[in-house]
Amino acid sequence: MIRNIQLRVSLKEEAKLGLKSKTAKYLGVAEKDIEIKVQRKSIDARKPSIYFNYKLEVYINEPMPSTKDYTFDYKDVSNAKPVHIIGFGPAGMWAALRCLELGFKPIVLERGKNVQERRRDIKAINQDHIVNEDSNYCFGEGGAGTYSDGKLYTRSLKRGDVRRVFESLVHHGATEEILVDAHPHIGTNKLPKIVQNIRETIIKFGGEVHFNTKVTDFKIDNNQLKAIVLDDEKEMETQRVILATGHSARDIYYLLQKKEIALKAKSFAMGVRVEHPQQIIDSIQYHCRGDRHELLPAASYSLVQQSKGRGVYSFCMCPGGFIVPAATAPGEVVVNGMSPSKRNNLYANSGMVVEINADVDLYKYERFGELRGLEYQKDLERLAFTSGGRTQTAPAQRLTDFVEGKLSEDLNPTSYQPGLKSAPLHSLLPKALGSRLRTGFAEFGKKMKGYYTSQANIVGVESRTSSPVNIPRKDTLEHPEIKGLFPCGEGGGYAGGIVSAAMDGERCAEAAASGL
């Protein structure tokens, strides 16, 4: 007999009885007679009494089936027609995997290094303040997500099969917990191995993955993409190209603009990272004075506030995490956040960003045309670089000093390894950002008592939330002017995270393979 039930278990019951015992008691059966499959798990901490909400499939007096809901039929494509994929982040990886299923040979061209070799460049930016333009937190095997978190939350439920992406991750080594958690997360310490397994699958079935291979030009004849140029010298003939270069591959946008290939300016968001001691966020969210209960994960939050006609909101919140340097070129400072799988660091950080309307807010950058948002980003990143001391040291301020408009005499301890330098971010940031952020932080302090505190730092700048450029495409997912070019993922402006980028990669693979 199979029962599908929803069960609400208090923290006290979870600690004392355990889920299986509680389920058996709820159903009025012996614990030995049931097996449980958790389909969904979330935490409700809105009141002082904390509850775990479960959606369960309970097998009573019968074994739980061992068959999986999803299988992946990868074909040997060694001699199949090729689809070229530029970029090996989530969009590129899942485009390649989908090509294997469809019977086409993915040939992946990645400017950066593999996950193992990327570690040296990440160490260099953290410890020596040296930025490798082709291998960093954004570029290299697995893309920006590999070494900067691995959060799998998405709102893009209509763009594809979210569960299929999760199952694919489990197939390649992720824990099955991501299939049930309300806010699934893998962790930057575990993602590299999963990414490596995906690469090995692609190669095993006849695909190709080329690292340290930078696309520098496109050869186009009569609006048909004919070839791609690698490292300014080698040409590779092609019929179909999936462009999955990510939101930070600025050279690609410049190349498309130079070749007069249609682009569009896109609205985006920018701001700062805010970092609190994790214990403060735990005490607010879990209504506790001391350490949180061992059964509870590091607490997170989500905040949004309107300020002068623009949204101010938290972005990429990382409980128990680190702030990391995400610059992709010398002379800029960019910060991002990540969490290890256990989320056991002493600090919680989150992007706190303001909506930038590309058609209204960037009038001073109109001379840059469709790349005006990109140039605005660059200016703020250069500002962060100079105000931080012209290294990867980041400009920072105590949260209360930022809101009150005064320079911090000293700063709180931080997880940001290159270090912080006190700077008057309240006056350095453009008014459109700074004034809205100051209003937002003050309001967030009213929503979360204890959030507005001098124990928190703000760190600048959080500028790579999404692409400020859209590469247009038709309903067929092909560029409206260039036949054979399929803009994809975050770099094209069609995704906002690992899962949505992966789903878009699958869709682009299906579109590119059509008619080959």
Flag whether 9 is in a domain. Answer: yes
DSSP annotation string for 94-134 = HHHHHHHHHT-EEEEE-SS--HHHHHHHHHIIIII-PPBTT
Query: What is the predicted pLDDT for the residue at 515?
Result: 81
What residues contact residue 260 under an 8 Å CB cut-off, 6+ apart? none
Query: What is the predicted pLDDT for the residue at 312?
Result: 98
Report percent pLDDT > 90 for the chain: 90
Residue in the structure block whose two tokens are 């019977």: 103
Q: Are residues 52 and 93 in the same domain?
A: no
Query: What is the predicted pLDDT for the residue at 156?
Result: 55
* pLDDT tens per residue, range 5-15: 999 999 999 99
Flag whether 65 is in a domain. Answer: no
Flag whether 73 is in a domain. Answer: no
Q: Are residues 245 and 281 in the same domain?
A: no
Report the C-alpha gap between 408 and 417 in whole angstroms.
Answer: 20
Averaged pLDDT for residues 369-397: 98
Q: Count structural domains, the chain.
A: 3
Q: Are residues 168 and 256 in the same domain?
A: yes
Describe the chain by its helix, strand, coil percentages, rounded to 5: 30, 25, 40
Averaged pLDDT for residues 61-65: 92
Flag whether 257 is in a domain. Answer: yes
* pLDDT tens per residue, range 277-317: 999 999 999 999 888 999 999 999 999 999 999 999 999 99
Q: Are residues 39 and 164 in the same domain?
A: no
What range does the domain containing 22 cover?
2-60
In the predicted structure, residue 155 carries a pLDDT above the cut 70? no
Q: Are residues 167 and 227 in the same domain?
A: yes
Single-letter residue type at 448? M
Query: What is the predicted pLDDT for the residue at 148?
Result: 64
* pLDDT tens per residue, range 110-131: 999 999 999 999 999 999 999 9
Query: What is the predicted pLDDT for the residue at 1?
Result: 85
Report the C-alpha gap between 376 and 461 in whole angstroms.
Answer: 12
Q: Are residues 232 and 100 in the same domain?
A: yes
* pLDDT tens per residue, range 468-498: 999 999 999 999 999 999 999 999 999 988 9
Query: What is the predicted pLDDT for the residue at 154?
Result: 62
Query: What is the predicted pLDDT for the residue at 290?
Result: 83
Query: What is the predicted pLDDT for the residue at 187?
Result: 84
Averaged pLDDT for residues 243-271: 97
Q: Are residues 191 and 100 in the same domain?
A: yes
Q: Are residues 7 and 131 in the same domain?
A: no
Flag whether 319 is in a domain. Answer: yes
With H, G, I as helix, E, B as strand and everything else as coil, classify residue 388.
Answer: coil
* pLDDT tens per residue, range 133-144: 999 999 999 998
Q: Are residues 300 and 441 in the same domain?
A: yes
Query: What is the predicted pLDDT for the residue at 205?
Result: 98
In the predicted structure, residue 417 carries a pLDDT above the cut 90? yes
What residues contact residue 94 under an 8 Å CB cut-off, 6+ apart? 165, 168, 501, 502, 503, 505, 506, 509
In the predicted structure, residue 153 carries a pLDDT above the cut 70? no
Report the C-alpha gap between 468 and 374 in whole angstroms.
Answer: 6
DSSP annotation string for 174-205 = --GGGGTBSS-B--TTTHHHHHHHHHHHHHHT
Flag whether 72 is in a domain. Answer: no
Q: Are residues 350 and 427 in the same domain?
A: yes
* pLDDT tens per residue, range 175-227: 999 999 988 888 888 899 999 999 999 999 999 999 999 999 999 999 999 99
In the predicted structure, residue 106 carries a pLDDT above the cut 60? yes
What residues contact residue 431 under an 8 Å CB cut-off, 6+ apart? none
CATH (domain of 8): 3.30.1490
CATH (domain of 98): 3.50.50.60
Flag whether 282 is in a domain. Answer: yes
Instruction: Please report which confidence band the pLDDT of residue 48 belongs to, taking 50, 70 and 90 as the band edges.
Output: confident
Q: Are residues 355 and 283 in the same domain?
A: yes
Domain termination site, one of 462, 485, 502? 462
User: Closest Cα partner for 103 from 129, 80, 123, 122?
Assistant: 80
Cβ contact 245:255 at 8 Å: no
* pLDDT tens per residue, range 456-474: 999 999 999 999 999 999 9
Maximum C-alpha span of the chain? 73
Instruction: Please report which confidence band the pLDDT of residue 149 belongs to, taking 50, 70 and 90 as the band edges.
Output: low
Averaged pLDDT for residues 410-434: 97
Flag whether 113 is in a domain. Answer: yes
In the predicted structure, residue 413 carries a pLDDT above the cut 70? yes
pTM of structure: 0.95
Q: Are residues 308 and 442 in the same domain?
A: yes
